[in-house]
Amino acid sequence: MIVSSRADATSPSGVLAEVPADEPEWLDLVAEAPDATVFHLPAWAHALAETYGFPTAVLVHRDATGRVIAGAPVARVRRLARRTLVSLPFTDACAPLARNDESLRSLADGLADWSRRQGVAVEVRGAVPSAPGWTQAVVGVEHFLDLHDGPESLRGRFSATHRRWLRQAERSGVRIRSGRSAADMQDFYELHMLTRRRQGVPVQPRRFFDAIWRHVVAPGHGIVLLAETPARRVVAGVVLLASNRIAMVKFQASDAAAWELRPNHLCYWAAVRWACDAGHRRLAFGRTETRHAGLQQWKAGWGGVAVPLTYAVTGGGSPDLGSGGVLDAVLGQVIRRSPALVCRALGALLYRYTA
């Protein structure tokens, strides 16, 4: 059990039940919900549990007949001195799923009651209906690109700057390699590690990417796109995850020494084309914090629409606004000045506490 030996908690709105991530009734709801993403599948929960040992489950709300009508996948994490249930760690967004608005309200009431009974905070990476006990805040924006018109039509809507740099990338000789192999993920991870070091943020452990490859990418819920020079040097890459006809750019990395070749533009253009060719209806560019105006402008240049991203918390605390602080600044300087081995060690030690 994820929080206690008691599997069910009764609230004024009904019953919340704790079920495994691969519970068939939950998967039926995931299959029918238009906003379900790859993070609602068991694959992501399995990758979290394998890498970090986070206990995972789905808290579901049932109607009077016992049918699952709403639910939220959660993982138990430890932050400083308290336990928290997060839906879900290391996702930009993972909102609860429900068959209708009434079911969603009942789930929100049930989660707040569950939190009070167990003495455990619950953080939802998405909005919930306004209800007593919940604190909600806009933590940034997500950019979504509607793919229905096809890649060539979409390319014409990119910003003039993006179109110019994309043409430059195409003339540079850089080419895209796509794949789902362990070697593809390893090539991306090496670049990703250098990128995180340059940014001064903890580097996720290699075993996390190994788990994502095994549980998510290799089974067909994603792909790795790598930009290579004519000499076969990998200079940029993205990891796309996809389900329910929704694709998302989950990770991106690049070699700063090759930026004049504009390999990032080639990767994003390849992501748009891959998502269209695979039959997806929209491409998500991930969370951008409100303070990162430059990154928001970059994503908007691909023609996506910015949608406010709200997180909700019950049981204490407040949504993570990603505002940084003195400790983050000091840690950033340490990471930037340390060798790769130290950066990976810090990431292995600290990253699980940023869930």
pLDDT, one tens digit per residue, over 72-90 is: 999 999 876 678 999 999 9
Q: Report the pLDDT value the prediction gives residue 316, as an integer from 0 to 100.
A: 83
* Domain identity same for 100 and 49: yes
Identify whether residues 208 and 112 lie together within a single domain. Answer: no
Q: Identify the domain boundary among 105, 139, 173.
A: 139
> Are 12 and 119 contained in the same domain?
yes
Confidence of residue 4 (pLDDT cuts 50, 70, 90): very low
Rounded to an integer, the average pLDDT of 234-243 is: 98
Residues 334, 188 within the same domain? yes
Within a domain: 319: no
Average pLDDT over residues 52-61: 95
Contacts 24+ apart (CB under 8 A), 214-221: 214/47, 214/50, 215/43, 215/44, 215/46, 215/47, 215/50, 216/38, 216/43, 216/44, 216/47, 216/241, 217/180, 217/185, 217/241, 218/180, 218/182, 219/43, 220/180, 221/38, 221/41, 221/43
How many other CB atoms are found less than 10 A from the CB of residue 283? Answer: 26
> Under 8 Å CB-to-CB from 95, ≥6 apart: which residues?
35, 124, 125, 126, 127
Is residue 311 in some structural domain?
no
Q: From 139, 163, 194, give the residue that closes a domain.
A: 139
Same domain, 89 and 106: yes
* Averaged pLDDT of the chain: 89
State which residues form the domain around 80.
8-139
Q: What is the CATH number of the domain that holds 236?
A: 3.40.630.30
In a domain, 75, yes or no: yes
Single pTM value for the model: 0.90
Both 225 and 269 in one domain: the answer is yes
Q: Does 162 reside within a domain?
A: yes
Tell me whether residue 293 is in a domain: no
